[in-house]
Structure 1
Amino acid sequence: MSCSSGGCSASSDAGFDPNNPEAMAIKEKINAHPCYSEGAHQHYARIHVAVAPACNIQCNYCNRKYDCSNESRPGVTSAKLSAEDAVKKVLYVGGEIQQLSVVGIAGPGDALANPEKTFDTFRMLQEKAPDLKLCLSTNGLKIADYIDEIEKYNIDHVTVTINTVDATGEIGSQIYPWVHWNHKKVWGAEGAKILLEKQLEGIKLLTQRGILVKANSVLIPGVNDKDLPNVAKKLKEMNVFLHNIMPLLSSPEFGTKFGLDGVPSATDQETMAAQEACGMDMKLMSHCRQCRADAVGLIGEDRGDEFTPDAFVDMSFEDLEKKYDIQAREQKHKAIENWRSHLEAANERIKIEQASKEQLSSDGKTKLVAITTAGEGMINVHFGSAQEFLIYEVGDKAIKFVMHRKIESSYSGAELGEDYNPIDEIKTTLKDVDVLLTAKIGECPMNDLNEIGLICDDSYANEPIEKSVFDAVQKHFYESEKEVG
């Protein structure tokens, strides 16, 4: 099952042709998947279980750290779990968070470098939590070796990190010092070429078997930024469903090779430019949060510290399955879908995926709007509580979701100094944004943000996001221009 251009949209019902059975089957697969559907990510929760500590490649942007409860980025986890304890955790969390719809294995190493633990976990989950979607993330080196197991356990969403398609291995050698292949480390360009060959082979096998593939690419300015459009073209050729371009996170305290060498993180503006360059060819995932290997909850929140092992490891599977309560979860999911249908009606279908400026605006000019939300499709977080902002591009005809922007200090567990002022960081995060919509904002921070030309508006508190974003831009810009005219 593939997703060719025009066949489906990653986050909008409008992109699915109801007369195309293949497209509608894909719609059903992603409907409640918060990573594969932007429309689902404010309503459904995910859990990552950290059962896969080993890795078979070395990445210069990665440091698989433990006991970093305040640090939010890939590869970080507070504890490793056995397969049995991972399943117990899923059942416990699924009972507490009934909107849980997806369980994934995303590290802290590579899921397929730990095949026994990975597939033991999925085997038990199939039996004890059959309503959950199963996912794994991998660098792609070993997909071909385990394609039969992936299919056997109904793992129908696989994320592959592919950062370059440079056949010479030169770009890859700057990202991967070595690849472990045939029981030895293969260094430099030769290792990178092996990795690319196996990634492309694995992606082909996955799509041939009807497994949805999301490709992650880490934007590393000065290394692979010019090659990412080539990656997007190749992914489209191979019927990959979704492309997620993630900014390099490279602060020195992360302890990565890039961070220690002073390679800077990718900026929001660089990420947007890369998305625009790649979005002409591939459907993009714009709502990624670069989650921890033990993330729990809605995308954009992490409730992992609420579910420590002492809460569930001593419980029996019988008691945990009662707590999980599949019937109650089914009713919760029905209620979510009912709310989503009402929300869609309220938003008046004004969002276009992968839209050009000309499709958004009659004059080709657009504005950027930031909003604060705790999910459920509403503007429902006070400015003072916000750790991230969702960014929309808006014209006089329609809107599109662009990206989320997280306050950079929230990625790190490092101590903040006495002189730290969050408003300075927020000014940088929102420096190119025109309007901020939030549930409530005080006079002092509003004045601070007005200094950078940012309009702050809390009159849309607890209103639907998409309609509010569109209406706010009409109010603050297009209607005022008409009055002047």
Structure 2
Amino acid sequence: MSCSCTTSTNTQSELHASILQKINNHPCYSQDAHQHYARIHVAVAPACNIQCNYCNRKYDCSNESRPGVTSYKLKPEEAVKKVLHVGGLIQQLSVVGIAGPGDGLANPKQTFETFALLKKYAPDIKLCLSTNGLMIHKHIDEIAKYTIEHVTVTLNTVDESGEIGSKIYPWVFYEHKKHRGLEGAKLLLEKQLLGIKMLVERGILVKVNAVLIPGINDAHLPLVAKKVKELGVFIFNVMPLISKPEFGTKFGLDGVPSANHKQLMRAQEACDVNVKMMRHCRQCRADAVGLLGEDRSDEFFKESFADKSFEELSHHYNLNGRMKTHENIETWRRALRAANGKVLQEEALDKNALSSTGKTKLVAVTTRGNGLINDHFGSAKEFLIYEAGDKGIKFIMHRKVEKSYCMGKEGCDGTYPIDEIKTALMDCDLLLTQKIGECPQKELQSIHVACDESYADEPIEISVLKGVKKHFFAA
């Protein structure tokens, strides 16, 4: 038998197919999957081994949607019971993740006990772990043992001097000691890079998150993107800093501003040349439930599942029913792909790939999922943003607003919060929505956003291309 350093075409195809299988129904690792499949985070990891200036772990908090926040903590058995309870009700649930409210690997007993029980009682579900990366090297064998195929590592800097990291991390707790300042930052980076390397060598898909912190690491992020590509990371996600004084974080109290849409777009564009980018992240709570564009965590309390037996919950989970639901989702996705064609150009690096004129437009879309334009403007609390020309389109980001235009009878106080929406859509050229009233249409037209409801309930991608051609590239 001869040995070769080159990889055969067949091996490359097999590798590609194996990766596609891993991400196909994972809403975080696949942009397409996030409109069809749901995730659940179980809050079994309260402790953390580093302090981040953008983080404040808050409990019993239902009014904040950001990492580190949860309404209640769970023991491993309670967490698995919750997954079975939710998985029976939300059958498109495909992923369970441990993402806090602290760090999963700072709570290894709870984390791996949870994963062990999940493999036993929910064998169809994908297992995910989010971590700051400090302790991956200590637990790599356990990660592999429990077939945790997706690990997210937060890596905000690759500055070996520790200067940038010391502005983000006041301390790092390792080997029974708090390491502060430059020492802590350099130690953390060393372990993060080692951990990522070990994960990739084991064939585990790695997503790297980086928090975009204005004035601290924003100009540095392309170097992070370059490094993670060298390490073999699957996907890179730039998350905007969420920083308000009422959140109680160090950055918020010190007046470090949240990152805005323009800053995020610039950072994504600067990093896109180096690595595959994730653009659909929702910066989920530690107890998030549902599709990425929704959070149903407040629907599921301990009282609804904690006292039930595993036998009862396993029956409720209905593995056969879930498999049928997932088969139906895949049938629908195939139909959507056929309807949309190949208009989506995820790898497009310049406007010429999308437009014959070199000029593109930004299109906002309202959706409740399933790949359709199926949400009224009045109820929309987020917008999907696409860049489009007459040749193709590219997904750019989602943009949230705190209040929808129409808050319903219970929430209506006689005002309509159009100003926040206009700010969110200020740079857009076209809005595609299921339905929009005359008044909000006029408001959006005042900032030069055309509105079109003629593509209601149609597939998003092909409709974005058709809409742009209709409004801006007509002969």
Identify whether the pair has TM-score above 0.5, normalized to the shorter chain. Answer: yes
Query: Match for 2:448: what amino acid?
Result: G
Secondary structure at 1:302's aligned position in 2?
coil
1:349 alignment counterpart: 342
Give the distance between the partners of 1:280 and 1:85, measured in 2 at CA: 43
Amino acid paired to 1:372: T
Alpha-carbon distance change, 51 to 454 in structure 1, aligned in 2, over 3 angstroms: same
Alpha carbons of 1:189 and 1:19: their partners in 2 closer, same or farther (altered >3 Å)?
A: closer
Q: Deviations over 1:137-196 (max 9, x none)?
A: 000000000000000000010000000000000000111111011211111111000000
Q: Aligned partners of 2:293, 2:87: CA distance in 1, in Å?
A: 18
| Counterparts of 2:272 and 2:298, CA distance in 1 | 36
Deviations 1:82-129 (A, max 9, x none): 000000000000000000000000000000000000000000000000
Match of 1:384 among 347, 368, 378: 378
Counterparts in 2 of 1:255 and 1:200: CA distance versus 1, 3 Å: same
Q: Deviations over 1:252-311 (max 9, x none)?
A: 111111111111110101000000000000000000000000000001101111111111
State the match for 1:264 in structure 2.
Answer: 257
* 1:206-221 aligned within 5 A: 206-221=199-214
Aligned equivalent of 2:356: 362
3-state SS in 2 of match to 1:226? helix
1:69 maps to what in 2? Answer: 62
Give distance in 2, aligned partners of 1:139 and 1:417.
Answer: 41
For 1:23-422, list aligned pairs within 5 A. Answer: 23-355=16-348, 356-408=350-402, 421-422=416-417
Paired AA for residue 117 in structure 2: M
The answer to whether the 8 A contact 2:381-2:402 is kept is no
The alignment status of 1:466 with 2:466, answered yes or no, reads no
Kindly tell me the number of residue pairs found equivalent between the two proteins.
461
CA shift for structure 1 position 409: 6.2
8 A Cα contact 1:141 1:199, kept in partner = yes
Q: Distance in 2 between matches of 1:69 and 1:439?
A: 29
Instruction: Please tell me whether the aligned partners of residues 172 and 180 of structure 2 are also in contact (alpha carbons under 8 angstroms).
Output: yes
Equivalents in 1 of 2:167, 2:195: separation in Å? Answer: 22
CA deviation after TM superposition for structure 1 residue 419, in Å: 9.6
Q: Secondary structure at the match of 1:227?
A: helix
Letter in 2 for 1:106: A
> Normalised by the size of structure 2, how large is the TM-score?
0.95
Residues in 2 aligned to 1:375 and 1:183: alpha-carbon distance in whole angstroms: 46
Is the contact made by 1:49 and 1:293 (CA closer than 8 Å) also made in structure 2? yes
1:421 Cα deviation after fit: 4.8
* Residue of structure 2 equivalent to 1:451: 446
Which residue of structure 2 aligns with residue 425 of structure 1? 420
Q: Which residue of 2 aligns with 1:476?
A: 471
How far off is 1:354 after superposition? 2.6
> Stretches of 4+ moved more than 6 A in 1?
16-19, 416-420
Instruction: Let me know the Cα RMSD of the aligned residues.
Output: 1.7
TM-score (norm 1): 0.93
Equivalence for 1:11: none
Change (3 A) 1:18 1:144: closer
Paired amino acid for 2:465: F
Shift, 1:420, TM fit? 7.2
1:408 shift after superposition: 4.8
List alignment gaps of at least 5 residues for structure 1: 1-6, 8-15, 411-415
Query: Percent sequence identity over matched residues?
Result: 66
Structure 2 gaps, min length 5? 1-6, 405-410
Describe the SS at the equivalent of 1:448.
helix
Structure-2 separation of matches of 1:443 and 1:386: 16
Tell me, in whole angstroms, the C-alpha distance in 2 between the residues paired with 1:423 and 1:218: 28
Match of 1:440 in 2: 435
For residues 95 and 368 of structure 2, the distance between their equivalents in structure 1, rounded to whole angstroms, comes to 19
Secondary structure, aligned partner of 1:80: coil
**Cα distance, 1:409–1:167 mapped onto 2, change above 3 Å:** farther
1:328 is displaced (CA, Å) by 0.5
3-state secondary structure, aligned to 1:456: strand
Q: 1:19, CA displacement in angstroms?
A: 6.5
For 1:294 and 1:420, how far apart are their aligned partners in 2? Answer: 32
Structure 2 distance, partners of 1:174, 1:231, is: 16
Q: Secondary structure at the match of 1:475?
A: helix
Which residue identity is paired with 1:201? Answer: L
Contact between 1:18 and 1:24, CA under 8 Å: does it hold in 2? no
